[in-house]
Amino acid sequence: MEKYQTLLYYCYSTIANAEQFAADHLKFCKSLNLVGRIIVAEEGLNGTVSGKTSDCKIYMDAIHADERFAKTAFKIDDVNEPSFIKMHCRYKSEIVHSGLKDTSIIDPNHQTGKHLEPVDFMAMKDDEDVIILDVRSNYEHNLGKFKNAITLDIENFRDFPDKINELAQYKDKKILTYCTGGIKCEKASALLLHHGFNDVYQLHGGIIKYGKEAQGKDFEGKCYVFDNRIAVDVNNVNPTIVSVCYNCGKTTPKMINCANPECNEHITQCDECGDLLQGCCKEECTTNPRKRPYDGTGYYVKVPHQVNKKTELVG
């Protein structure tokens, strides 16, 4: 039986002529028959790729052989099949869009929160002078989050800077930030420091690494991932489901994209409502002529049409 892996990684490191690098890197990934999604910017790389275990090793070795990315930490999952359908490698202005005009104030290579390994994060998170801060989007923390974590009402990370003032009451606390793989925390913690939060930490490797090294203790629900698995289990110690069906309120761990590509809303939805609404978030979406066939997964290949960019699952 063929063995596959999915690799989650990022690296903040200056890339000259990043647009050309993205084009060349796409060809390299395709030569290894990898599938996935990589963002390239002058500030570095942000990627999730999937393929045969042997090809993934070649890819990781090549990344580490480049001195710019030698310190890249890969989160590796063994999977039964590739976690994407296609390979995308795109150039963008940032590998995590901050929404800031002056991005120099959140350069992780100059200032960022103190990195906490999973076991250290676990040891600190319940202290009285600690605040656990989820820096992910609504649809992510609605699916799962750390027990007692503070969440922010944001659709995308670029909304995070506008929420800093809501956290002012915690300036005398230790702030432990976390996200899926660690990349958003690099900028979130830097921004908190810039705004006068003095004791800021971040979960190194994010929720994914915490699940592997600390068995996911006290992470409630599932972790949203940006591939066709959509959600993965994290907690092997005291697991629970916290998400509820968008339509009926029944407890469910399942997340989908609305089958109407012109809506494409991220929602948690039980199987019964999914079957009833044909994978749509509401009745009106079922009549859209471009509605995608619902196969029970709620995952769709990106369609060549303008969709709701706030909630785009793939591409």
Catalytic residues: 179
94-118: string of b/e by CB count within 10 Å (b at 16+)?
Answer: bbbebeeeebebbebeeebbebbeb
- The dihedral over CA atoms of 103, 104, 105, 107, expressed in degrees to the nearest 10, equals 90
Phi (first) and psi of residue 49, to 5 degrees: -130, 160
Give 129: exposed, middle or buried? Use CB within 10 Å, 0-12, 13-18, 19+. Answer: exposed
Task: Please say whether the beta carbons of 42 and 20 come within 8 A.
Answer: no
What is the distance between the alpha carbons of residues 265 and 256, in angstroms, rounded to a whole number?
A: 8
Round to whole Å and give the CA distance between 62 and 28. 10
